[in-house]
Amino acid sequence: MSYDITLVPGDGTGPVLTACARRVLEAAGVPISWDVQDAGQGTFERTGDPLPERVLASIRANGVALKGPLSTPVEAPYPNVNLTLRQELDLYAGVRPCRSFPGVPSAYEDVDVIVIREMTEGMYTGIEFEEGTVATKELIGFIEEETGRRIRDRSGISIKDISVHGTERIVRFAMRYAIDHARSKVTASHKANIMKFSDGLFLETARRVASEEFGQVPFEDRIIDACCMQLVSTPERFDVLVLPNMYGDLVADLCAGLTGGLGLAPGGTHGDGVAVFEAVHGTGPRIKDPDRANPSALILSATLLLHHIGEPEAADRVERSVAAVLAEGRSVTYDVKPSRNDPTAVTAAEMTEAVIASL
């Protein structure tokens, strides 16, 4: 049986890194029929549309995609291509595994945290009011009338929305993930002590879902600033974290920093009947030669894809191979060398070949 999977090469380092991940999956013996769909900056320059409908149609039809990072052109009709893709496909659950790999320079040795991020609500919905517009002035007036509090003139305003529906489904996702992956507990993080009607709703709903539907899974909560402090001081106290959108974004990067950086940070975003797997890092605009980028994050994202489509044996083999190459420390890119100026650092293609040789 061959799997139909959409491949979005992306921008910047994306085409090189998706090619690396594709090579590894093929070498692992998983039969895949790739539907290659271009999007992002390059597509906008050619067609005037950074996210053509054909890309979304392909992902909907196949139900699964492997995606490189996308750039959003300044002239694009929406503020962020990645955000628009998630909204169009209702990819509400971001999964960011953060684990330590022997051989990778890091201040920590045994980090193993899963960050599950709500992806459709909160501060990242893109609902904003620009400073100086009539609508913004009217909104400032409305807020003052309703609350008695005056927002300063010449302010820009962003809307943060958290719903019962959005919280219920992300908490259910986190709980089911913990059960399916034999994790020990789930921690919800929030700022309910200050934002009582948004984060407070998130916490109240999370507690209700956890107690009424998943009583067998240990559940706790942390205020977000305390959570960040404890992640840095004692990350071993956490297992699965579930957070609103912006907190999840920040905490996922924090945890990536605990384990060696974004070059090792895989991810997947899930909706109902559809999933897109991609590295956490961006397009790498500061990397002049894309072949210097670390392919590990996208290869590890591909292992999440393999688990998703029901190929756990291949997924485990690929992950063990990546871990072996990192532990040996010879055929690795500059960012996981003890010194970033190490002349023995290899290219993305060469590291990929080492991973394949270790399969």
**What are the catalytic residues?**
124, 191, 225, 249
Kindly give, in sequence order, each residue whose CB lies less than 8 Å from that of residue 13, ignoring residues fewer than 6 positions away. Answer: 68, 69, 283, 284, 287, 290, 293, 348
Q: Kindly report the number of other CB atoms within 10 A of residue 338's CB atom.
A: 8
Phi and psi at residue 165, in whole multiples of 5°? -60, -50
Tokens of 308: 């998703």
Cα separation of 321 and 205, whole Å? 41
Instruction: Outline where the chain has alpha helix (H).
Output: 14-27, 41-47, 53-62, 81-89, 134-147, 164-180, 199-213, 224-233, 245-258, 296-308, 312-328, 348-357
Tokens of 30: 């998983």
Q: Kindly report the number of other CB atoms within 10 A of residue 61's CB atom.
A: 11
Q: What residue type is assigned to position 132 of the chain? A: G
Tokens of 326: 């990192």
Name the β-bridge partners of 189: 222
What's CA 260's distance to the chain center, in Å? 16
Q: What residue type is assigned to position 195 of the chain? A: M
